[in-house]
Amino acid sequence: MSKIENLELLVVGGGPAGLSAALAAANYGIKVSLAEEREFLGGQLIKQTHRFFGSEKEYAGTRGIDILRKLIDEVNKNKNIEVLLSSRVLGIYEDNVVTILNDHKMKKYYPQSIIFATGASEKFLAFENNDLPGIFGAGAVQTLMNVYGVLPATNVLMIGSGNIGLIVSYQLLQAGVKVAAIVEAAPKIGGYSVHASKLRRLGVPILTSHTIKKAIGKEKVEGAVICELDSNWNEVKDTEQLIKCDAICLSVGLTPLVDLLKQRKVKTNYVSELGGYVPLRDENMETSIKNLFVAGDVSGIEEATAAMIEGQIAGLSVAKRIGKNNKREIEKRIEDAKNELELLRSGPVGKKIRKGLFKLGLNHGKNYNENFSEEALDISHLMKTGVPSEENLKNKLPSEEKVFDKGPIAISECFQRFPCDPCVKSCPFNAISENGNINNIPYVDFEKCTGCGICVSKCPGLAMFVVHKNFSETTSVVIMPYEFLPRPHRGEIVKVLDREGKYLCDGKVIRILDGKFQDKTAAVSIEIPKEYYLQARNFKVEE
């Protein structure tokens, strides 16, 4: 039998967590072998064309695909990392021998330590005819569109309003596909409100407290029957309605891919907040088996930013244990990474994660600052509909109407506490602040704001606008972010829409900023009748 190769560190999975883990360890001299089952690196990042939330330190405001490029670049440059592509890890045995299938050969390895960054798989849903062709997982739809350039359908019904459901819906629209509706069984939207608002401004209905009953169609999906749910998640009588569509996209959550861990008999617990059966592990990402670490979604479903930091912690922990030098420096970096993670998870949207981690016996050393764990504003209406309430808006607009007289000013329509700061970091005048905690809602200091519009292109949630009320006697100008093709021409008349995607008025395009700096989120200035300056928040380019 072929000989067994000794390794210092084997990282399984070439997604954000695995790449970060490999880099963190390799930078301290550890020899790393990174096994990825596909023929390319990247994991889910490869299809994430949207900008990331999170802190700027961890690439927030950058598109997933660009983050990936940076990571791959670093990995390829690093002499301590050997990348094994098209290499599926087939087994891990009790003596820690790992078998990898590469080039149709099963090779044996004996790593000193392993980091499993195997990610997650999509959950499936039980409903009638759920095996009809045309029923996709959201990940599949995203892969088809964004990796292979193939349109999945012409009119999609999205099931699930978590961030994936919302983001994939938006990307479907960008690709020219109609989204019939987004159906959500819970009474409130699962993902970030800014993503939901983006879709509502494009006229996509979001139906909370609704579920899919069955798919309709002979050879393939031709529609779906949905119905309303009451507060006990029971079907409300006589609320069935038929939605026409040619595809149903399921985005009902992810679950950690623990198959390899289970081979090695790593202990797992069912923790619904973290997506399903998750491995027990400590704060340094080490499982119940010594020298066997986890990072990213396999350790509990979270965002890619958290996955990258967890990867760093796991990689650094390995470096600290088997490396020869720099132990103190590594310890400091682990501490920093833990603090960063804690900050990311400290807001209201991190509540679920915190609860899940607590069930695993983890609190990351400290108690979270509960000041940031509640919403600052009542956003119940926003989270039900995707549209901010009058009350919400009032809170973010200038308290005095005359502030609008001074000239163009930035209006932030971000109402939910979640860890994100590109608007703050992008402002050259320090006019946007979130009071020292990345989880706070950003507020604009209208005294300092010059209405330059930089933030309009930088906000990953497309929630920044610039309003110039007194552009002329009778007109105002609103600068809006725009990520669709074709781009409007200067001088063109466009249909201006409100926050629910309803037609308001015609508007004239007077300026388009669409250079390298805007990075495909154009800032378009539209002149509109003055009475609409507080309502106009989107526009449609007529074909």
Partner 1 sequence: MDENKVIICRCEDVTLKEIRNAIREGFTTVEEIKRVTRSGMGPCQGKTCGLLIAKEISQMTGKPMEELELQNIRPPYGGITFEEVTKGTITENNK
Residue of 356, 168, 187, 190 whose CA lies nearest to 275: 356
Instruction: Specify the stretch interacting with partner 1 by CB under 8 A; choose among 24-32, 272-280, 347-355, 509-517.
Output: 272-280
Helix ranges (H only) for 78-155 are 138-142
Q: Are strands 178-183 and 206-207 parallel, antiparallel or unpaired?
A: parallel
Going by their DSSP bridges, the two strands 135-137 and 247-250 should be labelled as parallel
Q: Does 138 bind partner 1 (CB under 8 A)?
A: no
Please identify, among the stretches 102-110, 169-177, 362-370, 424-432, the one whose residues bind partner 1 according to the rule CB under 8 A. 102-110
Q: Which CB, 37 or 340, lies closer to partner 1?
A: 37
For partner 1, the closer of residues 118 and 142 by Cβ is 118
The structure tokens 């690439």 sit at 59
| Residue 213 lies near partner 1 (rule: CB under 8 A) | yes
| Distance of alpha carbon 461 from alpha carbon 187, whole angstroms | 22
Asked whether position 270 contacts partner 1 by CB under 8 A, the answer is: yes
Regarding 101 and contact with partner 1 (CB under 8 A), the answer is: yes
Nearest distance from C-beta of residue 90 to partner 1, angstroms: 4
Of the two residues 213 and 495, which places its CB atom closer to partner 1 in the complex?
213
Helix, strand, coil abundance in the chain, percent, nearest 5: 30, 30, 45
Q: Is 437 in the site for partner 1 (CB under 8 A)?
A: no
Among 78, 269, 389, 535, binds partner 1 (CB under 8 A): 269
| Residue 91 lies near partner 1 (rule: CB under 8 A) | yes
Does position 3 bind partner 1 by CB under 8 A?
no
Axis crossing angle, helix 304-322 with helix 16-26, rounded to the nearest 10: 30
Task: Decide if residue 105 touches partner 1 (CB under 8 A).
Answer: yes
The residues that bridge with 12 in the sheet, in sequence order, are: 35, 116
Distance of CA 149 to the CA centre of its chain: 21
106 binds partner 1 (CB under 8 A): yes
Residue 366 structure tokens: 């400290």
89 touching partner 1, by CB under 8 A: yes
Residue 257 contacts partner 1 per CB under 8 A: yes
Question: How many whole angstroms from its chain centre is CA 458?
Answer: 16
Residue 127 interacts with partner 1 (CB under 8 A): yes or no: yes
User: Taking Cα atoms as reference points, which of 34, 196, 10, 216 lies closest to residue 113?
Assistant: 10
Nearest CA to 310 among 8, 109, 11?
Answer: 11
By CB under 8 A, tell whether 211 contacts partner 1.
Answer: no
Closest approach of partner 1 to the CB of residue 270, in Å? 5
Q: What is the C-alpha separation between 181 and 203, in angstroms, rounded?
A: 9
Q: Which residues contribute to the site for partner 1 (CB under 8 A)? A: 1-2, 37, 88-93, 99, 101, 104-106, 121, 123-124, 126-131, 213-214, 255, 257, 259-260, 262-263, 268-270, 272, 276-277
